[in-house]
Amino acid sequence: MALAIVLILLALGSVAFHFLNPWHATPVASNWGGIDHTLTLTLVITAIVFVAVNLFVAYTVIRFRHREGAQAAYQPHDKKLELWLIGITSVGIVAMLAPGLRVYSQMIHAPRNVIQVEVLGQQWQWSFRLPGRDGKLGRSDIRFVSAANPFGLDPNDPNAQDDVLIEGGELLLPLGHPIQFLLRSKDVVHDFYVPQFRVKLDMVPGMVSRFWLTPTRSGTFEIACAKYCGLGHYHMSGHVKVVDAVQFQTWLASQPTFAQTQKPAGAAHRASNPSDDLVSKGRALAASHGCAACHSVDGSRLVGPSWKGLYGRTETLSDGSKVVADEKYLKEMILEPNVKIVQGYPPIMPPQKLSNDGVAALIAYIRANSDHAK
């Protein structure tokens, strides 16, 4: 009898919790309606089955409880009952899956006036590409990917020249304007996920997956990688900031275009204090390239050696030889990390495609951490 009461309370308590709980999904993008309705439909159907099964079990526990002289009847087969169960189950499953086809179709068929935003995933950072004044994204090809051209844009495509490139960190989107996301990966399968936008989609190397939505609420929302993609997976995050159209245009105009990033280096560095400038650039690179997932700056041991006090330190390598962590060694380790492994650490760091400027900035940052440590 106690078991029957527990089952009845469990069924009724679950229903009560659903209606009384204070957590509700917030509509922040145009696609929330269709997707949430599909989820609600699935929840209602599974909830009806859950409550019915629990109440049925509670009923049988009471109805067929042990009584003196009562005997069980053996009934191996009931064709009519089986047909009913198959029929009801089929209807339930079709009702849960069919609306998804319609919602998915709406999600991938974008209207004509969308702004295309390319999201590029790699271990373990997000980068973004937006069309420049011409409103068109230029061609890209894996053959063009290099340290100086991380997006692999076709240097001869006129549409690519004004493409705006954002490496790591934060993506701004205009409120109330339809956005189409084009998702690419440079290495392994990642998954672009902004929970408040409801949608998540795998990014598979070699193909472009896409969906669209219109952000309907301003605010900052976290981007997470929703596919296990290696050791730094947990650290692969970024932010989407939905702002008004003016703020968006101002931000867009302040970001580098592809043509600007292809100009010879040198002219770009004209800051008042070049060494501080370099260190802060290195800090930004360390954050956007996910370095902090494996290298601490406070001396604590993570997957890779800590950067605290690293510069100038003598390291013992896996083959027993010794090496001083100077400029040359660090550069080698950033570009070809698994050649000279420090003893006690696994050879798992992905080589970083960084320009000479980028490497210099990162080393300046590592060096700054070492100077503080002394």
- Footprint of ligand CUA (CB under 6 A): 121, 124, 190, 225, 227-229, 233, 236
Compute the least distance from the CB of residue 235 to ligand CUA, in Å.
9
Cβ-based nearer residue to ligand CUA, 35 or 183: 183
d(CA 288, CA 237): 9
Q: Which residue has the tokens 């692999």?
A: 152
Compute the least distance from the CB of residue 316 to ligand CUA, in Å.
32
Cβ-based nearer residue to ligand CUA, 116 or 237: 237
d(CA 138, CA 167): 17
Cβ-based nearer residue to ligand CUA, 121 or 305: 121
Q: Are 154 and 144 in contact (CB under 8 A)?
A: yes
Compute the least distance from the CB of residue 88 to ligand CUA, in Å.
40
Compute the least distance from the CB of residue 126 to ligand CUA, in Å.
9
Q: Which residue has the tokens 């309606």?
A: 33
Check whether the bond before 124 is cis (ω within 30° of 0): yes
Compute the least distance from the CB of residue 189 to ligand CUA, in Å.
8
Give how far the C-alpha of residue 17 lies from the chain's centroid of Cα atoms, to the nearest Å. 31
The H or E element that residue 56 is part of is: helix 32-63
Residue type, 350: P
Cβ-based nearer residue to ligand CUA, 278 or 349: 349
Cβ-based nearer residue to ligand CUA, 32 or 221: 221
Compute the least distance from the CB of residue 132 to ligand CUA, in Å.
27
Bridge-partner residues for 166, per DSSP? 128
d(CA 163, CA 115): 12
d(CA 42, CA 36): 10
Q: Are 154 and 163 in contact (CB under 8 A)?
A: no
Q: What tokens does 197 get?
A: 């936008």
Burial 96-125 (b: 16+ CB within 10 A, else e): beebbeebeebbeebeeebbbbbbbbbbbb
Compute the least distance from the CB of residue 361 to ligand CUA, in Å.
24
Cβ-based nearer residue to ligand CUA, 222 or 244: 222
Q: What are the Cα distances from residue 282, in Å, to 256, 260, 278, 300, 354?
A: 18, 20, 6, 20, 11
d(CA 128, CA 150): 11
Bridge-partner residues for 185, per DSSP? 121
Cβ-based nearer residue to ligand CUA, 138 or 290: 290
Tell me if residue 183 falls in helix, strand or coil.
Answer: strand
Compute the least distance from the CB of residue 124 to ligand CUA, in Å.
6
Cβ-based nearer residue to ligand CUA, 217 or 353: 353
Cβ-based nearer residue to ligand CUA, 187 or 326: 187
Compute the least distance from the CB of residue 95 to ligand CUA, in Å.
33
